[in-house]
Structure 1
Amino acid sequence: MLFPTLTPNAPDLPDAVVFGDDHLSREDLVGAATAVAERIAGAKTLAVLANPTVDTALAVVGCLIAGVTAVPVPPDSGARELEHILTDSGAQAWLGACPDAATLPVIPVRRYARSWHRHPEPAGSSTALVLYTSGTTGLPKGVPVTRDAIAAGLDALADAWQWTADDTLAHGLPLFHVHGLILGMLGPLRRGGRLIHTLRPTPENYANAMDLGATMFFGVPTVWHRVAADQAAARTLSPARLLVSGSAPLPVPVFSQIRDLTGHEIVERYGMTETMITVSTRADGERRPGWVGLPLRGVETRLRDGDSDLPHDGESVGDLHVRGPMMAAGYLNQPEKTAESWLPDGFFATGDVAVIGPDGMHRIVGRRATDLIKSGGFRIGAGEIETVLLGHPAVDEVAVIGVPDDDLGQRIVAYVVGQPVPDAELIDLVTTELSHHKRPREIRYVDALPRNAMGKVQKKLLD
């Protein structure tokens, strides 16, 4: 059963889900979501405008109870992207809120309706959600996620993070991706704990969540950077049990600042829409700055260079492949792209490059297309250069890329947000910390780095 705690005879929990000032008890959540399930019986696929509201929670949970596939749609989708998601997913109607000038029928979510009808548990292999990737090229790709994959992924994280029904999770993340929706909303429901959605992930809102009993906090690196800058808010989080960061690499200086202010070493984890979370540091293990941890229970990983396996020596940079029970089985309606990434032996080629240490710890270098730099015959990971540059007090943010070079193949260029200092000062810092061939050949100062909605730097927009 996907939600063993969401049954009519389960013990009630006041304020089981909180969205800003709005809240529902567990009993009301079960009754209202079951009423939604009855209303949509017989539907196959429904679109849900993923605003951070109680109604969105009722729509998604209602779909899961009824065995109807839900398609979470980003509220800020442009017209072209919106049309693609609806057409590609085969959505029959909107459930709950809808965009202006909606072209599909709309099924209302009746907040105060209640039903206690028992629905049979849908097959674990059935598609629970179709999530759309935030890719950097082309229209987003649909990823069907099964009920079994959600359960396996959340249970593996519960093992790694010692996540129980006693935890109250707080975050302000979007509800149309793995991080905010599956981990951030379905996770507390599966564990039987509480969810506090802060609507916006501001330091003030996170600090206020402590007054509501929050024990765990989720954030992307941008959120933790802002929390670290608000020292009073950061110190308020000290009594929490666990702080977790994901969706993009956490800069080492931010890790250190949060540790100094709160006493917490942030838990980092690694995953994708296609795989959910496959690697994480553990609540009871080492949390090494710049490293994302160990494979979760049931997960296998490997490093490849073409058809050859690379050693787990902490130095060799290779293509990261993962295999585990929380993975999706392919892209929706795209068999050719599916065949490119889902390999015959069951591994998924992530498109990321990484190193793995002798102890099994993983460090993500970045995307193969933008973060693996081939310069002067060397394979160089942009991430390690960025980590060193972020250690300079004048550097607030940095993105390292390789640009075409007639002599080297690619020339290392660093885009820096911060207080300008002589280029040689930053270049010499990298030379001191890393190998000589990894030094930037050029420093370019910019006001801001281009990022997507999840805070990931869009390197293809640089240069």
Structure 2
Amino acid sequence: MTLLPALTGGDDLADAVATPGDSLSRHELLGWASAIAERISGHEIVAVDAKPGLPTIAAVTGGLLAGVPVVPVPPDAGELERAHILRDSRAALMLSDDHEAAGDSPVPVMAVSDRKRPGSVPPEPEAKRPALVLYTSGTTGPPKGVVISRAALAAGLDALAEAWQWTADDTLVHGLPLYHVHGLVLGVLGPLRLGCRLRHTIKPTPQGYGSTPGTMYFGVPTVWSRIANTPDAARALRPARLLVSGSAPLPVPVFDALRELTGQAPVERYGMTETLITVSARAGGERRAGQVGTPLTGVRTRLVDESGAPLPADGATIGHLQVTGPTLLDGYLRGGGVEPPGLAGGWFPTGDVATIGADGWHRLVGRASTDLIKTGGYRVGAGEVEDALLLHPAVREAAVIGTPHADLGEQVTAFVVADPVTEQELITFVADRLAAHKRPRIVRIVGELPRNGMGKVQKKLLAAM
């Protein structure tokens, strides 16, 4: 199995990969990456300073060509996080043009921007060999190194190519970070496997997307919300055939606004670092607001209760989502080895809660730890309440969590960014649209919601407030 056949065996393409002000042909990228591969050959694992741009793309590609597992390090990682990643992964080198990229960690830094002498393409590594070590966000403790094999990457990208009718004729545009599944695996390795053009805008701004012609655009809900609030940029995407949203649920009002402004509904998909992408709407099929589609080819899903007993796929029962298939992780880095992920009969517990309809369509409620609220004997999904709040014309952003309550166990608590509006008005607004037990009992008006680098709301920080 060849992981990047369009790069290593395809015809040249003069503008295969481009960023504002710079571009590479397919052969130029292959030569650059091959030179890096020669220099890192024999190392057990290397880190890449994953600043957005061509050097990061070349460095990651060089690691994949050499068969050396790559650890992308977020460029905005704080000193403690960076030191943890480098120490925990035991990276032998940090690939970066910044000689201080390793911080205080005793890891040598190797520059990557010398493109003068192309290297020879090494033999294809075994499919089962680890390709990437992606660190989780660390919301429940220190970030964990998730080991993803070459075979899992190939299976995931091929399943998405089928679902999204993704071909070499496409031009993919995005400005997502190059250290997550969305921006790196889908957004960079996808084009290098399938042969399409890549346009990375460095930052995912409405202006960058609107001024860059393409057939496919990738974004997270925060990006799409900003585009929907910039009508000229949104209308500029009308020639595209696919707008993809992921990494967090897309609010229904944003879904509706994009459909009106761009002439098409966005495609939502679901996945996580440990599983890659497992569920998606289809390019040629229906797209439903608030739902993320059906399992990709080769993937199976199920819902279970707290004891692990299966739950019905009736579109109403909320359960813990488990998945199985060829895209699962090999395990987690532990003490220089790989610790198996602890699957239950081959099923991976995602930590998310969802409903599954009789037709296979999935609706994500959110993280079990923060988005499933147990109040007065009822189970309330935070996302449903957030969508109701966002229907109010004064509300720009909303996040809902459960907070302790002496009688109910938990109470529905909302944090909103809004124009002048009273808390009671918003409580009544939701109560008029949802069941009484789903209305917020507390509403707090805030200036902004805490978010991470991918735009996800950090609900643990809300709980601390």
Q: Which residue of 2 aligns with 1:209?
A: 212
Q: Which residue of 1 aligns with 2:125?
A: 122
1:164-197 residue CA offsets vs partner (Å, 9 max, x unmatched): 0001111001001101000000011100011100
Q: Does 1:197 align with 2:197?
A: no
Aligned partners of 2:17 and 2:198 also within 8 Å: yes
Residues 162-177 of structure 1: pairs in structure 2 closer than 5 A? 162-177=165-180
Structure 1 residue 73: Cα displacement? 0.4
Measured on the aligned residues, the alpha-carbon RMSD in Å equals 1.7
Distance (whole Å) between structure 2 residues aligned to residue 431 and residue 314 of structure 1: 22
> Structure 1 residues 100, 321: closer, same or farther in 2, change over 3 A?
same
TM-score normalised by L of structure 2: 0.95
> Structure 1 residues 378, 101: closer, same or farther in 2, change over 3 A?
closer
Structure 1 residue 380: Cα displacement? 1.3
Distance (whole Å) between structure 1 residues aligned to residue 414 and residue 110 of structure 2: 50
Residues 73-84 of structure 1: pairs in structure 2 closer than 5 A? 73-84=73-84
Q: Which aligned runs of 4 or more in structure 1 are off by greater than 6 angstroms? A: none
Aligned partners of 2:36 and 2:119 also within 8 Å: no
Residues 33-432 of structure 1: pairs in structure 2 closer than 5 A? 33-98=33-98, 100=100, 102=102, 103-115=106-118, 117-210=120-213, 214-305=214-305, 306-333=307-334, 342-432=342-432
| Residue identity matched to 1:196 | R
Distance (whole Å) between structure 1 residues aligned to residue 82 and residue 423 of structure 2: 44
Distance (whole Å) between structure 1 residues aligned to residue 199 and residue 210 of structure 2: 12
1:233-274 residue CA offsets vs partner (Å, 9 max, x unmatched): 110110011101111111110111111111020011111111
Structure 1 residue 110: Cα displacement? 4.5
The alignment partner of 2:156 has SS state of helix
| Residue identity matched to 2:125 | P
Aligned partners of 2:95 and 2:112 also within 8 Å: yes
The alignment partner of 2:211 has SS state of helix
Distance (whole Å) between structure 2 residues aligned to residue 118 and residue 78 of structure 1: 35
The alignment partner of 2:291 has SS state of coil
Aligned partners of 2:389 and 2:429 also within 8 Å: yes
Shifted more, 29-38 versus 114-123: the winner is 114-123
> Structure 1 residues 101, 166: closer, same or farther in 2, change over 3 A?
closer
The alignment partner of 1:433 has SS state of coil
The alignment partner of 1:349 has SS state of strand
Distance (whole Å) between structure 1 residues aligned to residue 420 and residue 321 of structure 2: 35
Shifted more, 414-423 versus 144-153: the winner is 414-423
Q: Does 1:3 align with 2:13?
A: no
Q: Which runs of 5+ in 2 are unaligned?
A: none
Percent identity between matched residues is: 60
The alignment partner of 1:11 has SS state of coil
> What is the total number of aligned residue pairs between the two structures?
457
Structure 1 residue 420: Cα displacement? 3.4
Distance (whole Å) between structure 1 residues aligned to residue 268 and residue 23 of structure 2: 29
Q: Which runs of 5+ in 1 are unaligned?
A: none
Distance (whole Å) between structure 1 residues aligned to residue 354 and residue 138 of structure 2: 19
Distance (whole Å) between structure 2 residues aligned to residue 323 and residue 413 of structure 1: 34
Aligned partners of 2:38 and 2:119 also within 8 Å: no
Structure 1 residue 334: Cα displacement? 7.8
Structure 1 residue 101: Cα displacement? 6.7
